A = this chain, B = another copy of it.
């Protein structure tokens, strides 16, 4: 049975696969390099999450996630061939990417509370799950990770993880905390993109 949550997670994995692969295409990598960047972006956050709490990464024990990531890579290649332009800024990519950010943040928060992490640990685990794949991709592609300069990306994950923890702590029944986390992270991301929100620099 495909739960709404699994559906969002699937959309996110595909979207992150597309985002990673499209960055590889823009960098003129060969098919393997493009595939590696796509798979790393789609699976990197979840693998980081599982390692942090001492689990064997589910991306390596189940088959679905890798297939979805590869589907994202294939989709990116098809889009590039059809459009012949940069696809990184297309709503075709940014909206599913926002869904993925929100869904992954929620899975990180769920795994974090199940593992008995502290409040800070839950928020860190949620944030790393949401943004980790993209950060690894940027390090491999030799760019300063977008989470360090893209305003209102990691912020959305931090807010979503915090809301999840707060509701879970006051015993809101599932799937209440998960839904709230996704709504907050996704809403902040979509509104932030539309309005061009940014955080101030220190000087």
Query: For A55, A139, A143, A148, which residue has the most chain B Cβ atoms within 10 angstroms?
Result: A148
Give the total of A residues in contact with B, Cβ under 8 Å: 61
Is the Cβ of A61 less than 8 Å from the Cβ of B124? no
Could you tell me if B61 and A52 are in contact, using CB atoms closer than 8 angstroms?
Answer: no
Q: How far is the CB of A26 from chain B (nearest CB, A)?
A: 10
Write out, one digit per residue, whether chain A residues 61-104 have a CB within 8 A of any chain B CB (1) or not (0): 11100110000000001001100100000000000000000000
Across the interface, do A56 and B52 meet the contact criterion of CB distance under 8 Å? yes
Decide: B149 and A33 in contact? CB cutoff 8 A: yes
Which A residues between 24 and 68 are near B, CB-CB below 8 angstroms? 24-25, 28-34, 36-37, 47, 51-57, 59-63, 66-67
Chain B residues with CB under 8 A of A33: 147-149
